[in-house]
A and B are shown apart, each in its own frame.
Chain A
Amino acid sequence: MSTTIHTPARSAGDTAAPAAGARRRSAPAPIPFSRIVGVELQKMFDTRAGFWLCASIAIVAVLAQVAITAFGPDSMITFETYATAMGAPLQIILPLIAILSVTSEWSQRSGLATFTLVPSRGKVIAAKGVDALLVGIAASALAIGIGALGYLVGSTITGVERSWELSVTSTLLTILALMLSLSMGFVLGLLFRSSPGAIVGYFVYAMLLPALFGTLAGFQQWFADLQPWVDLNYSATMLYDNVPDTEGWLQLATSAGIWLGIPLLVGAWLLRRSEIK
């Protein structure tokens, strides 16, 4: 049975000529992408979890400064040490922020409202991606700023002669490495669409896989040769220590393609077909 019900002629008449007239309006202007970026940025901070995650960047930065000043030998009291002290904690916090910005739409079910207001799922996700990168860059700048303050205080306390030397190249490379970690979190969030799944996934990627791949490379020469090309962790960690040459950049691009590009495409494709519950 495929019963077709049409509302009676009376109401069909109403359609042709709306009685009130006021209701038949011109279609509103489309929502600009910049507005979605703004809204999604607001959503990253306006919950208690989001607020504390972002606040933790500043808190951890300050703690790191205190730790260097208190326990570091004089040789460590350099601007570079202070400015990059944040690298390790940020490598954990930034991916978490990126993960939650995506997965909270599912774990908190706010996606129902989000995707009925903006049906283009790709646009919402792209806006979240832009915001995650913006937050990552702002956090890096903040870390350097707090580092400068910490250095000022630390060098005064310890009496070390001050020199504001900071390699721009290595700082930029460190920020790039952080952005790669953040992107990994984002992609995992998109792929899993569940906070616990994506967070566990990130820790497997960041903690477990390097040990696994390291062991493999230690025993198998062929993998040791291949690793820089296929292991994003490996090629990204290189950025902390040295400036990549042409081959280094190519290795970074290939491994990023494997670990970020492909999952991003798969995640986006799955998202398009998925049901928002």
Chain B
Amino acid sequence: MITIDSLTKRYGDVTAVDAVSFTAAPGRVTGFLGPNGAGKSTTMRIVTGLTPATAGTARVLGRDFADLPNPGREVGVLLDASAQHAGRTGREILRIAARTMGLPTARVDAMLELVSLTPGEADRRVRDYSLGMRQRLGIAAALIGDPEVLILDEPANGLDPAGIRWMRDLLRGFADNGGTVLLSSHLLHEIEAIADDIVVIGNGRIVAGGTKDELLGGRGTLVRADDPAGLAAALERAGLSATVADGAVLTEADPATAGRTAYAAGFAVTELRAADGGGLEEMFLELTAASQRDHLHGTEGNAA
């Protein structure tokens, strides 16, 4: 359980995190979504006590992070997989973590196996690790204390598709066992694939939040037929909303109802699917575009 309340962080005139409030609940994966520089990492660093907040509170399992008696046993943290002493071996890093938490060294081997780092790789210095191997090591370090809460900043970075799949399954299992997972990403589809709840941040502020279904689904159905106007009229006669757009009909009804109605009215449906969760994607694109350095408006300049 992570409870963030009106969290604010200012650097001089810049407000990096602006009155952010949300909760990451046990048994669920909470995806923290936002473009680069939106304030995700700063928020997570405040939650883990590395950055002091200007105002507001962040509590993990009901306490300030600094008041956790043995944080590693309660909260697994992975903020930056490259932030390790490059001259230590992976095994050494896990040993130090295990020793700090007061765990038997057997946990080290168990974790290496869990994240599929071979003994040979474990004895290499982290300097020689690929980013994917560092992420695996970081996840091992986060899980070694058997925590109740996981806080992971962009954990999929550097993992190959199989690795991403593996991590999704791992986090799903962790949440299904009652654990709390907060993970950040700047990729909508990545969050879509794993999160139960989504919190969207842009320019330091929360711009949307809720369950994945609320944010991505429930936007109605797209039906396509050769005669969209006729189909729209048929749907309306059945008491369903219908708007024609781009040669297709958008309705608030679910796909099954829309399909049956079209069939009953004698229309051959050529496409039938849940409408895009357009709201979130549009909003996210706008957020991303606003913070993008390479604007796509170069053509205007050329025309002038």
Q: Judging by beta carbons under 8 Å apart, are A108 and B26 in contact?
A: no
Within B55-97, the residues touching A (CB, 8 Å) are: 65-66, 68-75, 77, 79-80, 82-88, 92-93, 96-97
Q: With A and B bound together, what is the CA distance between A3 and B26 in angstroms?
A: 22
Interface: A250 (CB within 8 A) = no
Q: With A and B bound together, what is the CA distance between A38 and B99 in angstroms?
A: 9
When A4-B21, A29-B69 are in contact, do A42 and B99 touch as well, CB less than 8 Å?
yes
A21 cross-chain contacts in B, Cβ below 8 A:
178
Interface: A39 (CB within 8 A) = yes
Interface: B101 (CB within 8 A) = yes
Interface residues of B: mostly helix, strand, loop or mixed? mixed
Interface: B265 (CB within 8 A) = no
Shortest CB-to-CB span from A19 to chain B, Å, is 6
When A31-B100, A39-B99 are in contact, do A22 and B83 touch as well, CB less than 8 Å?
no
Interface: B224 (CB within 8 A) = no
Q: What count of chain A residues pass the 8 Å CB interface test?
A: 53
* In the complex, residue of chain B having the shortest beta-carbon distance to the beta carbon of A23: B178
Q: Judging by beta carbons under 8 Å apart, are A110 and B177 in contact?
A: no
Interface: A162 (CB within 8 A) = no
Interface residues of A: mostly helix, strand, loop or mixed? loop
Q: Judging by beta carbons under 8 Å apart, are A116 and B70 in contact?
A: no
Residues of A within 8 A of B (CB): 1-8, 10-12, 14-15, 18-25, 27-31, 35-36, 38-39, 42-43, 46-49, 104, 108-113, 115-120, 273, 275-277
* In the complex, residue of chain A having the shortest beta-carbon distance to the beta carbon of B99: A39
When A7-B22, A7-B23, A113-B141 are in contact, do A46 and B209 touch as well, CB less than 8 Å?
no
A112 cross-chain contacts in B, Cβ below 8 A:
50, 79-80, 83
When A28-B73, A113-B97, A119-B49 are in contact, do A18 and B26 touch as well, CB less than 8 Å?
yes
Q: Judging by beta carbons under 8 Å apart, are B68 and A119 in contact?
A: yes
Q: Judging by beta carbons under 8 Å apart, are B141 and A11 in contact?
A: no
Interface: B39 (CB within 8 A) = no
Shortest CB-to-CB span from B82 to chain A, Å, is 7
Shortest CB-to-CB span from A22 to chain B, Å, is 7
Closest 5 CB pairs of A and B: A5-B209, A23-B178, A20-B178, A11-B25, A47-B87
Q: Judging by beta carbons under 8 Å apart, are B178 and A11 in contact?
A: no
Shortest CB-to-CB span from A137 to chain B, Å, is 23
